[in-house]
Amino acid sequence: MSGQDRELDAVAALLARARRILFITGAGISADSGLPTYRGIGGLYHERLTDEGLTIEQALSGQMLAAHPEVTWKYLAEIEANCRGTRPNIAHDIIATLERDRPGVWVLTQNVDSFHHLAGSRNLIEIHGSLHRLRCTECPHTRSVPDFAGLQIPPPCPLCGGVLRPNVVLFGEELPPRAIERLEGVLANGLDLIVSIGTTSVFPYIAGPVVWGYRRGVPTVEINPGDTDVSHIVDHRLRMRAAEAMPELWRRMHPAEPAED
């Protein structure tokens, strides 16, 4: 048996026993649906500036949205257009299925594509928000959209005439307090297993739960083809893509019944 097979068996056994699981997901899980992986949305701009001579972090900042919403929206719309038509993949589906079987399963995701929600996950902490939920910058109006097709860019608020924006965390903005509170509540209630999938864990609030588990003796797993900021502390590492690892783990959790004579 190879080292990877032993790791797969060990992780499958942990998943089969655990009732309270926190999945932490990043761009890598959505890459298997065809999305770019740089910060989950910006692979289009890797090592190049925007038409305005800005870095993508400058263009997609809260400061730029306030001063020049047309610039921020230009790149939000370009990113959304490149993601349009993609769907959740089997890794999202398996996580949602585990949640239906065990109400103690939660997902903390950096991704703004809403794939976990579309797959059926409801115990969901979208720490960076969702591109598909819009809110007015001037009044309480909100709306949900399947995509940005047909939207005036930047879109005006139909109630007050202000500018709508996606309910996402732009660069330089604070994380949503309610999402932080939900994560703290999940950790406070205790966990049996923490699984990090497709994230480099460079943000402290993404690496934090893995470090928390490490310090408390909670089993930790990483599913990622490359090395990350938490690779050196996890108990089990699967150097695999999410859509490759999750079906294999599911198969090992549900071995076929022996045929009857």
Q: Catalytic residue positions? A: 128
Residue 245 near residue 223, CB atoms below 8 Å: yes
d(C-alpha 119, C-alpha 95), whole Å: 9
Residue 164: both structure tokens together? 């709508």
CA distance 153 to 135: 14
3-state secondary structure of 65: helix
CA pair distance 20, 193, nearest whole angstrom? 7
Q: Which long-range contacts (CB under 8 A, 24 or more apart) does 43-49 make?
A: 44/78, 44/79, 44/82, 45/75
